[in-house]
Amino acid sequence: MSDHDSTPASGTADVLDRLAAVIDARKPAAGGDPGQSYVARLLHKGPDGFLKKIGEEATEVVMACKDADHGADRQKIVNEVADLWFHSMVALAHYGLAPRDVAAELARREGTSGIEEKALRKAQAREAAGD
Ligand SMILES: N=c1c2ncn([C@@H]3O[C@H](COP(=O)(O)OP(=O)(O)OP(=O)(O)O)[C@@H](O)[C@H]3O)c2ncn1[C@@H]1O[C@H](COP(=O)(O)O)[C@@H](O)[C@H]1O
């Protein structure tokens, strides 16, 4: 397993784009069959099902990281983050969004320090409150 960079960034984007296309093809309007497809089943049931899974998978990511802090296999983190990304992608598709929308937001944030952004946000909130 890599510590950083054995997978090229384009490969990462490609796999997310391919998965997004499969998820779109499983939508009810595209004829996805809940009897044959886990994604179709999730989309057919509506948001509550996949939103619950996102909450569960996020908790499992936290637990896998805490376990790794105590010597457990880091692959468990990868597996749980994959589950979280997958279910988050089902949510994106349901709401008519795609990985490129998230990538565009991350690109927009590139080079903006989180500390500066937070300070700016607080200043704007103070201004809006008339302080
Ligand atoms: N990447 C995934 C993927 N990751 C996880 N899962 C499924 O997500 C489900 C939930 O994971 P859990 O670990 O919580 O398992 P569980 O306890 O059995 O789940 P629940 O009973 O709570 O639903 C499992 O059934 C996994 O198989 C996935 N199912 C599908 N995909 C991708 O989606 C494509 C389309 O899948 P289908 O729609 O099933 O054809 C596949 O080819 C894959 O590329």
**Are 45 and 89 members of one domain?**
yes
**Are 72 and 123 members of one domain?**
no
**Are 57 and 84 members of one domain?**
yes
Q: Which of 30-34, 73-77, 88-92, 108-112 has the lowest mean pLDDT?
A: 108-112
Q: Is residue 7 part of a domain?
A: no
Q: What is the ipTM metric for this complex?
A: 0.92
Q: What is the mean pLDDT of residues 102-131?
A: 92
**Are 107 and 87 members of one domain?**
no
**Residue minimizing CA distance to atom 22 of ligand 1:** 53
pLDDT at residue 73, rounded to an integer: 97
Residue 42's region, left for phi above 0, alpha for psi from -120 to 50, else beta, is alpha
pLDDT (tens digit, 9 = 90+) per residue, 1-29? 766 655 555 699 999 999 999 999 999 99
Q: What is the pTM of this model?
A: 0.90
pLDDT at residue 9, rounded to an integer: 54
131 pLDDT band, cuts 50/70/90, is: confident
The C-alpha atoms of residue 101 and residue 98 are separated, in whole angstroms, by: 5
Residue to probe by mutation, ligand 1, list 18, 27, 39, 43, most atoms within 8 Å of CB: 39
pLDDT (tens digit, 9 = 90+) per residue, 27-83? 999 999 999 999 999 999 999 999 999 999 999 999 999 999 999 999 999 999 999
4, 19, 26, 55, 56 from 36: Cα distances, Å: 36, 17, 10, 25, 24
The C-alpha atoms of residue 104 and residue 57 are separated, in whole angstroms, by: 24
**CA 123 to centroid of ligand 1, rounded, Å:** 43
The C-alpha atoms of residue 84 and residue 92 are separated, in whole angstroms, by: 12
The C-alpha atoms of residue 47 and residue 115 are separated, in whole angstroms, by: 33
Q: Is residue 59 part of a domain?
A: yes
Instruction: Kindly list the protein residues whose Cβ atom lies closer than 6 A to any atom of ligand 1.
Output: 19, 22, 26, 37-40, 83, 86
CA torsion through residues 108, 25, 92, 59, sign: negative
**CA 110 to centroid of ligand 1, rounded, Å:** 32
**Residue minimizing CA distance to atom 13 of ligand 1:** 83
Residue 111's region, left for phi above 0, alpha for psi from -120 to 50, else beta, is left
